[in-house]
């Protein structure tokens, strides 16, 4: 494989922008019409996912270990979409045809053979991971909604019983597909430590114009059957450090942290935990009563609610400011979750105040899922 | 700033547009452009370049097709006139364009629903804010009234007892004081009546004595001041009933 040449040729293909994935999917659907129902009506996001994955793979060629991890996750993740080994062949054909189309006069037999070889390696790693996964786990879990509670104007808490029971670590997430929005999968964190009855909670906030969040908050009732993908994510409780804990949760970013909090509560000697829970206004502090109940039961837990606007009897202001105003957190393990920008702000704020980056735990959304 | 600051959907970006573009300067000093408009313009230039590159690619495909067609004529092979590959590329273009249209419909619908949700949220916040303000106003009025009533009560009756316990204690004290004053008044009345009776008794005795003395030896002093040096013995009597 002439890696350098593949990279040059990919750069040339990528110049054509959105036309490349557009051509690829049209080519695939014309040659294999049976694949079309595996995708949503709008392919806009799908095309971006494909380009992201291709860019990741081409850039990752230089660090094969990391690339293998990425590809194995990708292969496992594709099982819930119904991807079978035969599909990999079809995708390979269309991808090669697309590359040939956009390479134009620079396409030749050598380049075609190199791209074919590269694709077979990628597909090989993905299908192998999928096969291993198949022996232990289903392609997806069926989750029946047993309770749907509207907690705020735009927040609902879903309690779901899965079949078979979902095995996960507190802090992890799963992709969810609602029957009201077929082929659209969105990630949500489990909001509780694993329970004896096997039910899991999800905190869903209505995103303006968000197709899936709207279906989950408004068009879901007890009895609705959801599809759940395999648990993913790297946000976990570090039980080895023995340090006290700082948790910063913005809005439904509370979900993974509440799950971890329940795990902490089960430890023989829980560390001290300060949990800052921030939201738009007092109404949006949708789970405060339950947190305050936990804090009343456990002396090691302190809950500090904050709002950015409106009337509130507690702290108000930007969440990173309120956290920083409490003083020195440098001896703690910090767990931060919420909207990306807020997580970044809080992380850099705590870093600047002397908290080592190794003690800051956030979800890594680096993995992309076509 | 949006793209139509320089060109609209129909009017494509030209080299002259790029050369003639004027971007606003930063507010303080005159050393740089504002980031946002520059980024927007760069995005436009990028989109235009991608479009040109794709146009060039499809022209190249077309040239290839025509070249094959000419070659086909020369060799007498009709099948290459509009080959299977050409038909496929054509179909890909048609499907791609249909997909783009579908994407746009979904995106429009989503943007519209997003706007509606956003407006609903803003309206809800507004209504909640107004309701809260109204509630505050009512509460404030009630408090003002309560305060005024408290001030009135204080001016008329002195400081009002605060708690039930204090009120009960004060009431008990009041009852005790009432009983005490009644008993005291009773005692005082008996005592005073006794004193008055003694005084009358004493006066009548003295009058009788004076009368007796006046009968015997006339005394001008005793007649002018009938009480005379008798003050002290009258007081002394009180202690020796």
- A119-132 confidence digits (pLDDT tens): 999 999 999 999 99
Determine contact, residues A276/A322, Cβ cutoff 8 Å.
Answer: yes
DSSP H or E run through B143: helix B84-157
Distance from first CA to last CA of chain B, Å, rounded?
Answer: 115
Whether A41 contacts chain B with CB within 8 A: yes
Cβ separation A27–B92 shorter than 8 A = yes
Question: Has residue B223 got a pLDDT over 50?
Answer: no
Task: Report the alpha-carbon distance of residue B21 to residue A82 in Å, rounded.
Answer: 51
Query: From the list B50, B60, B106, which residue is nearest A104 (CB)?
Result: B60
Farthest CA pair distance, chain B: 190
Token match 């995005």: residue? B43
Task: Report the alpha-carbon distance of residue A185 to residue A228 in Å, rounded.
Answer: 9
Task: Write the pLDDT tens digit of every residue in A211-251.
Answer: 899 999 988 999 999 999 999 888 999 988 889 999 999 99
Give the pLDDT score at B1: 37
Task: Report the alpha-carbon distance of residue B116 to residue B122 in Å, rounded.
Answer: 10
All residues at 6 or more sequence positions from A268 whose CB lies less than 8 Å from its CB, including other chains? none
Question: Has residue A181 got a pLDDT over 80?
Answer: yes
Q: Which residues of B touch A103 (CB under 8 A)?
A: none
Q: Which residues of B touch A44 (CB under 8 A)?
A: 103, 106-107
pLDDT average, residue stretch B48-75: 85
Task: Write the pLDDT tens digit of every residue in B95-154.
Answer: 999 999 999 999 999 999 999 989 988 898 889 889 888 988 998 999 899 888 888 888
Mean pLDDT of chain B: 75
pLDDT average, residue stretch A271-285: 93
Task: Report the alpha-carbon distance of residue A129 to residue A123 in Å, rounded.
Answer: 10
Task: Write the pLDDT tens digit of every residue in A339-358.
Answer: 999 999 999 999 999 999 99
pLDDT average, residue stretch A168-197: 95
Q: pTM for the whole thing?
A: 0.74
> In which region does residue A53 sit, left (phi positive, over 0), alpha (psi from -120 to 50) or beta (all else)?
alpha
* Nearest residue in B to A40, CA atom: B103
Give the pLDDT score at B225: 45
Q: B68 CA to chain A: closest CA distance, Å?
A: 14
Determine contact, residues A57/B126, Cβ cutoff 8 Å.
Answer: no
* Nearest residue in A to B111, CA atom: A209
Whether A63 contacts chain B with CB within 8 A: no
Q: Which residues of B touch A311 (CB under 8 A)?
A: 132
* pLDDT category of residue B77 using cuts at 50, 70 and 90: low
Tell me the residues of B at the A interface, defined by beta carbons under 8 Å apart. Answer: 50, 53-54, 57, 60-61, 88-89, 91-93, 95-96, 99-100, 102-103, 106-107, 110-115, 117-118, 121, 124-125, 128-129, 132
Q: Where are the alpha helices (DSSP H) in chain A?
A: 3-14, 19-31, 44-60, 64-77, 85-103, 109-136, 211-218, 254-265, 288-297, 319-325, 340-352
Chosen for mutation from B99, B120, B122, B135 (greatest number of chain A CBs closer than 10 Å) is B99
Task: Report the alpha-carbon distance of residue A330 to residue A350 in Å, rounded.
Answer: 8
Determine contact, residues A340/A288, Cβ cutoff 8 Å.
Answer: no
Whether A283 contacts chain B with CB within 8 A: yes
- The sign of the CA dihedral B94, B97, B103, B108 is negative
A306 forms beta bridges with A278, A315
Task: Report the alpha-carbon distance of residue A245 to residue A239 in Å, rounded.
Answer: 11
Cβ separation A104–B57 shorter than 8 A = yes
Q: What is the DSSP letter of A358?
A: G
- The sign of the CA dihedral A277, A281, A284, A285 is positive
Whether A39 contacts chain B with CB within 8 A: no
Task: Report the alpha-carbon distance of residue B110 to residue B104 in Å, rounded.
Answer: 10
* pLDDT category of residue B195 using cuts at 50, 70 and 90: low
Query: From the list B53, B110, B132, which residue is nearest A211 (CB)?
Result: B110
* Nearest residue in B to A20, CA atom: B54
Q: A94 CA to chain B: closest CA distance, Å?
A: 11
Give the pLDDT score at B80: 54
Give the pLDDT score at B61: 85
Beta strands in chain B (DSSP E): none
A199 forms beta bridges with A161
Structure tokens at A49: 């996912």
Question: Has residue A52 got a pLDDT over 50?
Answer: yes
Structure tokens at B155: 């001016």
Q: A221 CA to chain B: closest CA distance, Å?
A: 21
Chosen for mutation from A153, A206, A208, A279 (greatest number of chain B CBs closer than 10 Å) is A208
Q: B109 CA to chain A: closest CA distance, Å?
A: 8
Cβ separation B54–A19 shorter than 8 A = yes
Cβ separation B57–A16 shorter than 8 A = yes
Task: Write the pLDDT tens digit of every residue in A66-86.
Answer: 899 999 989 998 999 998 888
Whether A311 contacts chain B with CB within 8 A: yes
Pair type for strands A199-205 and A315-316:
unpaired
Q: Which residues of A touch B111 (CB under 8 A)?
A: 209
Chosen for mutation from B92, B132, B133 (greatest number of chain A CBs closer than 10 Å) is B92
ipTM of the prediction: 0.83
Question: Has residue B229 got a pLDDT over 60?
Answer: no
Q: What is the DSSP letter of B200?
A: H
Task: Report the alpha-carbon distance of residue A47 to residue A344 in Å, rounded.
Answer: 27
């Amino acid at each position: 494989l002439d890696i350098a040449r593949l990279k040059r040729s990919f750069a040339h293909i990528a110049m054509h922008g959105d036309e490349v994935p557009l051509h690829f999917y049209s080519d695939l659907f014309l040659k294999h019409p049976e694949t079309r129902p595996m995708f949503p009506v709008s392919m806009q996001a799908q095309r971006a996912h494909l380009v992201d994955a291709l860019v990741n793979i081409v850039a990752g060629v230089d660090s094969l270990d990391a690339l293998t991890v990425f590809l194995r996750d990708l292969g496992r993740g594709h099982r819930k979409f119904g991807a079978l080994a035969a599909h990999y062949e079809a995708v390979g054909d269309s991808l090669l045809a697309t590359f040939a189309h956009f390479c134009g006069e620079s396409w030749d037999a050598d380049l075609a053979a190199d791209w074919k070889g590269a694709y077979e390696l990628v597909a090989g790693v993905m299908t192998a991971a999928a096969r291993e996964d198949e022996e232990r786990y289903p392609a997806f879990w069926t989750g029946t909604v047993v309770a749907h509670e509207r907690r705020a104007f735009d927040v609902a808490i879903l309690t779901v019983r899965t079949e078979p029971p979902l095995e996960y670590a507190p802090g992890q997430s799963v992709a969810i597909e609602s029957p009201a929005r077929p082929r659209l999968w969105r990630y949500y964190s489990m909001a509780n430590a694993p329970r004896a009855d096997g039910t899991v909670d999800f905190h869903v906030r209505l995103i303006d114009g968000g197709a899936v969040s709207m279906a989950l908050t408004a068009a879901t009732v007890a009895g609705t059957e959801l599809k759940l993908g395999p648990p993913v994510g790297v946000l976990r409780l570090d039980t080895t450090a023995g340090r006290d804990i700082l948790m910063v949760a913005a809005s439904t970013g509370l979900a993974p942290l509440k799950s971890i909090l329940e795990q902490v509560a089960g430890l023989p000697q829980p560390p001290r935990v300060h949990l800052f829970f921030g939201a738009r206004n007092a109404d949006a502090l949708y789970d405060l009563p339950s947190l305050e109940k936990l804090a009343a039961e456990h002396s090691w837990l302190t809950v500090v609610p904050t709002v950015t606007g409106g009337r509130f009897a507690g702290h108000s202001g930007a969440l990173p400011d309120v956290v920083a105003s409490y003083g020195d957190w440098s001896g703690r393990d910090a767990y931060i979750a919420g909207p990306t920008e807020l997580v970044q702000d809080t992380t850099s704020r705590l870093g600047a105040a002397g908290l080592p980056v190794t003690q800051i735990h956030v979800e890594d959304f680096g993995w992309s899922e076509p | 700033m949006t793209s139509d600051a320089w060109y609209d959907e129909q009017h494509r970006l030209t080299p002259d547009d790029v050369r003639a573009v004027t971007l606003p300067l930063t507010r303080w000093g005159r050393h740089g452009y504002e980031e946002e408009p520059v980024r927007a313009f760069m995005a436009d230039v990028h989109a235009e370049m991608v479009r040109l590159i794709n146009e060039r690619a499809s022209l190249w495909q077309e040239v290839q097709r025509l070249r094959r067609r000419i070659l086909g004529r020369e060799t007498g092979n009709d099948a290459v006139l509009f080959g299977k590959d050409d038909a496929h590329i054509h179909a890909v273009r048609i499907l791609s364009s249909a997909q783009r249209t579908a994407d746009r419909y979904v995106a429009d619908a989503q943007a519209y629903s997003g706007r509606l949700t956003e407006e609903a949220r803003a309206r809800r916040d507004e209504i909640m804010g107004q309701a809260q303000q109204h509630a505050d106003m009512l509460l404030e009025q009630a408090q003002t009234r309560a305060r005024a009533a408290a001030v009135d009560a204080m001016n008329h009756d002195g400081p009002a007892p605060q708690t039930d316990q204090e009120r009960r204690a004060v009431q008990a004290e009041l009852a005790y004081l009432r009983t005490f004053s009644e008993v005291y008044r009773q005692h005082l009345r008996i005592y005073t009546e006794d004193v008055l009776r003694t005084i009358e008794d004493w006066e009548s005795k003295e009058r009788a004595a004076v009368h007796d003395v006046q009968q015997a030896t006339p005394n001008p002093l005793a007649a002018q001041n009938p009480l005379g040096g008798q003050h002290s013995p009258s007081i002394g009597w009180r202690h020796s009933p």
